[in-house]
């Protein structure tokens, strides 16, 4: 026969009491924060959200804060100095909703812990914060080292990286963030070293390393111009003057480049230049500039050259040309041209080195002289009217069958059926208004055999 063990009545009551106490405490923590709940450095355990809100508001206003720089005290202030008046209701409600009231017993013997929920848009009076910053600046008014980004500079003919400088100048916005974060987290000591301006670009920056390689590639490019039979290598000193690196951007000074290209144009180009010309009669005469000749488009060429240079590779190019008469072999007038001698009152048409037309002409009479110069046939027109002014100021209109203008003031070659004779001194009393009057039968051949852009040398 087995006897049943009887649980002492006291133990039963004790268990019931503990269970009842646990339930009652759990019910209590339905409305208040669990034990050891800390928010922003303030113990809010056992408080309702409303009570905790009032406690936090009162605490933050009287809380003392200390600004230091390393071990040096800078100044102190209180929450009231910044007019902090934050409503924590939203954050406190979030904390309360995260807590399990039935877990209160686990928290009783745990160490106090800061809740992970932080204030949103902590309200600090901006004017007061600005004043505090100015106090910091005044209190630390020393010769501070300015933080500088790593950059590229020229050294011994190449670009090298100039390391960043970690200074101790203060980032105003960062300091303000530090103050807000400290107040929010319940920290009473704020080290302004954490607000020092930091370099945005350091010497190990990949873009900086890439830019260095690209700059040095451009700086050491071998660039050759092919200009009218001449090989012109751009000096490295010129490239060095053009190339710059500013605010992380590689650029070429196209204004300086255009000036250099204009100097090449002045040296090798033929526009606006007096020429030594060997006449059909065997003399060498100087012929002033006219409409014939070419130059380099300095501005357009500078832009095109810069685009090519930025590729960082050696290259050879022909410049962009304007005008007429450019030859890659360096010839200027060549061996196909029209020659007009005013003193001989004669015209020769040269084609491929041979004279194919030789004729007397009538040039401008004294006072309306045919201009001397190296011109170009820029247009060819059949059956037109040439209009202008006579010596007495009256208008004239002369019909011609063949018109070949050579300058831009109305001078050209044309037939002149009104002229009864050509050559000699006839031009002195019966000369043209500046054009080269040509016998009609000959002018038809000139018109046929002389193409556009043919040089016309008048002397």
Residue 7: in which H helix or E strand, if any?
Answer: none
Average pLDDT rounded to a whole number, residues 128-136: 83
Which part of the chain is CATH 2.40.440.10?
337-458
Residue 376: in which H helix or E strand, if any?
Answer: strand 373-376
SS3 content of the chain, % helix, strand, coil (to 5): 35, 30, 40
User: In the structure, what pLDDT confidence band is assigned to residue 425 with cuts at 50, 70 and 90?
Assistant: very high
For residues 6 and 43, what is the distance between their CA atoms, to the nearest angstrom?
47
Phi first, then psi: what are they for 68, rounded to 5°?
-130, 160
* Average pLDDT along the chain: 91
Structure tokens at 179: 């103050």
Average pLDDT rounded to a whole number, residues 226-230: 96
Exposed e or buried b per residue across 90-118, where buried means at least 16 C-beta atoms within 10 angstroms of its C-beta: ebbeebbeebebeebeebeeeeeeebebe
Pair 188, 66: CB distance under 8 Å: yes
Residue 39: in which H helix or E strand, if any?
Answer: strand 37-39
Q: Left if phi > 0, otherwise alpha if psi is -120 to 50, otherwise beta: which for 46? A: left
Q: What percent of the chain has pLDDT over 90?
A: 67
Question: Which one is the CATH code of 337-458: 2.40.440.10, 3.40.50.460, 2.130.10.10, 1.10.287.70?
Answer: 2.40.440.10
In Å, the largest CA–CA distance within the chain is 169
Q: Is residue 21 pLDDT above 90, yes or no?
A: no
For residues 91 and 106, what is the distance between their CA atoms, to the nearest angstrom?
23
Phi first, then psi: what are they for 382, rounded to 5°?
-100, 145
Q: Tell me the CA distances in angstroms from 61 to 58, 87, 116, 180, one per residue in order.
A: 6, 12, 22, 14
Alpha-helical segments (H) within 189-253: 206-219, 236-242
Which part of the chain is CATH 3.10.20.800?
207-324
Total length of the chain: 459
Phi first, then psi: what are they for 373, rounded to 5°?
160, 170
Q: Is residue 46 pLDDT above 50, yes or no?
A: yes
Beta bridge partners of 328: none
- Beta-strand (E) ranges in 213-274? 223-227, 230-233, 243-246, 249-252
pLDDT per residue as tens digits for the range 52-70: 999 998 988 888 999 999 8
For residues 264 and 212, what is the distance between their CA atoms, to the nearest angstrom?
30
Query: Is 0.85 topped by the overall pTM?
Result: no
Note the pLDDT of residue 120. Answer: 59
Note the pLDDT of residue 284. Answer: 97
For residues 217 and 312, what is the distance between their CA atoms, to the nearest angstrom?
5
Q: Is residue 252 pLDDT above 80, yes or no?
A: yes
Question: Which one is the CATH code of 207-324: 3.10.20.800, 3.30.390.50, 3.10.560.10, 3.40.50.300?
Answer: 3.10.20.800
Note the pLDDT of residue 105. Answer: 81
- The DSSP bridge pattern shows strands 158-162 and 293-296 to be unpaired
Higher-pLDDT residue of 185, 322: 322
pLDDT per residue as tens digits for the range 92-115: 999 999 999 988 888 877 777 677
Structure tokens at 372: 């001397």
User: In the structure, what pLDDT confidence band is assigned to residue 295 with cuts at 50, 70 and 90?
Assistant: very high
Note the pLDDT of residue 23. Answer: 83
Q: Is residue 246 pLDDT above 70, yes or no?
A: yes
Note the pLDDT of residue 372. Answer: 98
């Amino acid at each position: 026969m087995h006897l049943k063990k009887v649980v002492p009545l006291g133990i039963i009551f004790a268990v019931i009491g503990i269970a009842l106490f646990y339930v009652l405490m759990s019910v209590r923590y339905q409305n208040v924060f669990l034990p050891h709940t800390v928010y922003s450095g303030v113990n809010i355990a056992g408080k309702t959200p409303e009570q905790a809100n009032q406690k936090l508001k009162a605490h933050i206003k009287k809380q003392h804060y200390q600004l230091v720089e390393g071990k040096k005290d800078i100044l102190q202030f209180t929450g009231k100095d910044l007019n902090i008046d934050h409503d924590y209701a939203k954050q406190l409600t979030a904390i309360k909703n995260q807590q399990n009231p039935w877990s209160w017993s686990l928290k009783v013997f745990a160490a106090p812990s800061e809740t992970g929920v932080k204030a949103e848009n902590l309200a600090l009076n901006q004017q007061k914060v600005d004043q505090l910053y100015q106090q910091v600046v005044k209190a630390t008014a020393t010769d501070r080292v300015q933080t500088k980004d790593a950059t590229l500079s020229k050294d011994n003919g190449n670009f090298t990286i100039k390391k960043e400088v970690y200074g101790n100048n203060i980032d105003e916005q960062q300091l303000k963030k530090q103050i807000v974060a400290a107040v929010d987290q319940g920290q009473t000591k704020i080290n302004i070293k954490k607000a020092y301006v930091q370099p945005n670009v350091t010497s190990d920056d990949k873009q900086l390393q890439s830019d260095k390689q690209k700059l040095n590639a451009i700086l050491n490019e071998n660039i050759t111009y092919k200009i009218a039979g001449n090989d012109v290598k751009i000096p490295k000193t010129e490239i060095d003057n053009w190339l710059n690196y500013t605010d992380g951007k590689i650029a070429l000074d196209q204004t300086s480049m255009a000036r250099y290209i204009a100097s090449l144009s002045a040296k090798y180009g033929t526009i606006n230049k007096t020429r030594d010309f060997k006449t059909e009669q065997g003399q060498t005469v100087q012929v002033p500039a006219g409409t014939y000749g070419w130059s380099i488009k300095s501005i357009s060429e500078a832009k095109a050259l810069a685009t090519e240079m930025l590729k960082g590779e050696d290259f050879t190019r022909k410049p962009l040309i304007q005008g007429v008469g450019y030859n890659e072999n360096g010839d200027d007038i060549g061996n196909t041209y029209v020659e007009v001698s005013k003193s001989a009152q004669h015209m020769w048409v040269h084609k491929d080195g041979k004279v194919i037309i030789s004729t007397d002409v009538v040039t401008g009479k004294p006072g309306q002289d045919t201009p001397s110069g190296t011109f170009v046939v820029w247009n060819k027109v059949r059956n037109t009217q040439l209009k202008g002014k006579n010596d007495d100021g009256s208008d004239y209109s002369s019909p011609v069958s063949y018109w070949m203008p050579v300058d831009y003031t109305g001078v050209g070659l044309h037939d002149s059926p009104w002229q009864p004779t050509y050559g000699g001194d006839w031009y002195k009393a019966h000369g043209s208004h500046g054009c080269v009057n040509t016998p009609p039968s000959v002018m038809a051949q000139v018109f046929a055999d002389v193409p556009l852009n043919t040089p016309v040398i008048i002397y």
